[in-house]
Structure 1
Amino acid sequence: MGYYIKSVVEIIESNYDNFTDVEKNIADFFIHNNKKQKFSSKDLADKLFVSQASLSRFSQKCGFRGYREFIYQYLEDFVEKEQDVTGNISQVLNTYQELLNKTYSLVDENQIKRIINYLNTVEKVFVCGKGSSGLAANEMELRFMRIGVNIDSITDSDQMKMRSIFHNENSLAIGLSISGNTEEVLYYLFEAHKKNAKTVLITSQNKKAYKNYCDEVILVPSLIHLNHGNVISPQFPISVMVDLIYSYFVKEDKNKKEKLHDDTLRALNIKIEKEENDL
């Protein structure tokens, strides 16, 4: 696991939309900086044309007590970015590795355990998303259905609106939205919360408003500040997180769940054999 390095850059990115314009200027500096050096609050304030108080407020919004604690952690976890990488293949693969590093920095094992508890106690699971997040929702349904979870995926906007009312305290609603701005997904979670369902949002943004209707907000890396982020599948960060949840879920009562998975494979093979015999 030594290849994965925790970094405060992911914390900055997940809180980016909560910053003022001045704080975004500070955030951009730390996100794109690739030189390890000492940053006194006075020197950096002068360099960025901001006040030292702004640096302190920025640090507190990132979850630190102040700038001194923030910069200590930033320098402690700092990884200099290689500038001599050549070749499109290397750049794309390095971008995927960077996403994995970011996921490692954001993942909360205790939070995953809480999600597993939801999966084990509710009667019905609904997962919704649009576009690439919709594809991830479909895949999540297929994978968890095969190990015994009563789960449906919803990718149509009208379906999300209509089915949002069919919730109760025995259901779990999971919304997938990398941007955190997909209105239909947020509406679905809001309405499900009103019906006392458990609600989970998987997103790259950490907005205070989510806490009003989401029991859990699972943070995944953003593609915005990545080199070659535009050629990386947008569903990749969500797929990695779903894999982590799936892995934890299968680990509990592993023999039973692996048997269910194998039974679905046998069912598919029986169907294929029957069709071949009919030919």
Structure 2
Amino acid sequence: MEYYIKSVIPVIESNYNKFTMVEKTIADFFINNQKKINFSAKSVAAKLFVSEASLSRFAQKCGYRGYREFIYQYEESFVEKKEFMTGNTLMILNAYQELLNRSYSLVDEKQIERIGNYLNATKKVIVCGKGSSGLAAREMEIRFMRIGVDVDSITDTDLMRMQAVFQNENSLVFGFSIGGQKEEVIFLLKEAKKRGAKTVLFTANNRDDYREFCTEVLLIPSLRHLNHGNVISPQFPILIMIDIIYSYYVEQDKTKKKILHDRTVQALEETYTEKAE
């Protein structure tokens, strides 16, 4: 795992919308900074024309006990970036590697294990999303269906609202919304949670009120602050987390799930053979 670096940058980005204007100034500095300087509270406060207390509040909103703990992690993970990229291929590959690093920084293995346990305990799984997130929802349906999970993906607004009525304590609902603001996805999660279902939101935007209707909020890296992020598929960060969950889930009963997977592959091969004949 030496190639990956635990970074505070994805944590800052996922909490960005919580910040005051002063805290956003601090956030922008740490997100965009590429030089090793004196990061003491006194020095940074003077540089940004903010108070040391503002630095402390900023750090606490990021989930740290204070600025000292925050800056320790920041300095540990700080890597001076080289901007000598040439060619579109290298540019894209570097952008994907950056997203992998950010995913590594955000992933919580205990949370992934809990979600794997929810999958094992549930009778019905619903996965919903719109646009690119809807394509990721369809991919999750196909992946997990092949190992015996009773799962449906929903990308239609009306179906999301109708399905909300049928969820109960035997249901597990995944909602994909990178910005965390897709009304129909949020509606389904809220209604499902009211009816006793477990709910998991994949989002790049961490908000306190999500905890009211989400059993788990699974953070994914944002493309917003990523150089050349507009040419990267928004599905990619979601698919990374789906693959991690899939891996944990399969490991919980590897032999049984491998048999189910092989049977589905065999069934597909038989279908293709019959068509060829």
Does structure 1 conserve the Cα–Cα contact (< 8 Å) formed by 2:102 and 2:221?
yes
- Aligned residue pair count: 277
Whole-Å separation in 1 of the counterparts to 2:145 and 2:47: 54
Q: Residue 199 of structure 1 aligns with which residue?
A: 199
Q: CA deviation at 1:93?
A: 0.3
- Secondary structure of the residue aligned to 1:201 is strand
Aligned residue identity for 2:100:
L
Q: CA deviation at 1:64?
A: 1.5
User: 1:14-29 maps to which residues of 2 (within 5 A)?
Assistant: 14-29=14-29
> Tell me, which stretches of 5 or more residues in structure 2 are unaligned?
none
Whole-Å separation in 1 of the counterparts to 2:275 and 2:40: 72
User: 1:1-279 maps to which residues of 2 (within 5 A)?
Assistant: 1-277=1-277
Whole-Å separation in 2 of the counterparts to 1:193 and 1:15: 23
Aligned residue identity for 1:175:
G
Q: CA deviation at 1:5?
A: 0.4
What TM-score does the superposition give when structure 1 sets the normalisation length? 0.97
Does structure 1 conserve the Cα–Cα contact (< 8 Å) formed by 2:38 and 2:44?
no
Whole-Å separation in 1 of the counterparts to 2:206 and 2:166: 27
Aligned residue identity for 1:251:
E
What TM-score does the superposition give when structure 2 sets the normalisation length? 0.98
Q: CA deviation at 1:70?
A: 1.4
Q: CA deviation at 1:88?
A: 1.2
Whole-Å separation in 1 of the counterparts to 2:9 and 2:270: 50
Whole-Å separation in 1 of the counterparts to 2:260 and 2:66: 51
**What stretches of structure 1 move > 6 A for 4+ residues in a row?**
none
String of CA shifts for 1:127-169, please: whole Å, max 9, x gaps: 0000000000000000100000000000001111111110110
Aligned residue identity for 1:58:
F
Aligned residue identity for 2:211:
K
Q: CA deviation at 1:66?
A: 1.6
String of CA shifts for 1:16-43, please: whole Å, max 9, x gaps: 0100111011100000001112222222
Aligned residue identity for 1:77:
S
String of CA shifts for 1:163-220, please: whole Å, max 9, x gaps: 1110110010110111111111111100000000001101111100100010001111
Whole-Å separation in 2 of the counterparts to 1:50 and 1:183: 36
Work out the percentage of aligned pairs sharing the same amino acid: 65
Q: CA deviation at 1:79?
A: 1.2
Does structure 1 conserve the Cα–Cα contact (< 8 Å) formed by 2:169 and 2:197?
yes
String of CA shifts for 1:217-262, please: whole Å, max 9, x gaps: 1111000011110000000000000000001111122121111111
Whole-Å separation in 1 of the counterparts to 2:249 and 2:65: 35
